[in-house]
Amino acid sequence: MYEKQQFFVIRLKKNALVWNEQPFTLHYHPHSHVLEDFVAHLGFRSSMIQYHYHIVSFMDLEGNRIHVATNLFRLKPEVIAELYCAR
């Protein structure tokens, strides 16, 4: 996945299983809609995906809480939220 440089930002379903959460970004922009930013594994422990993903939670313009997963670790969480909303 990383070798081919195929990057993605996908929305997580409400029932997505997220394990081994570790904080990623400590400082958000003061006017940011970002609620959470961490790195974690996805899936059941028995079938956990071997890669870890950058998880960002934010509020959209309608006030809905959105959770997205991406393999873009070098981008700020605000940029990841903007990428998802611009799709």
Mean pLDDT for each consecutive 10-residue tract of the chain (87 residues)? 78 85 73 89 71 92 94 92 92
**Could you tell me if residue 70 is inside a domain?**
yes
**Could you tell me if residue 58 is inside a domain?**
yes
CA distance 10 to 70: 6
CA distance 19 to 27: 22
Grouping H, G, I as helix, E, B as strand and the rest as coil, residue 66 is strand
Give the residue numbers spanning the domain of 71: 9-85
Q: What is the pLDDT of residue 43?
A: 79
Verdict on whether the full-model pTM lies above 0.85: no
Phi, psi of 44 (to 5 degrees): -70, 155
Total domains, the chain: 1
User: Token pair for residue 34?
Assistant: 């970002």
**Could you tell me if residue 14 is inside a domain?**
yes
**Could you tell me if residue 32 is inside a domain?**
yes
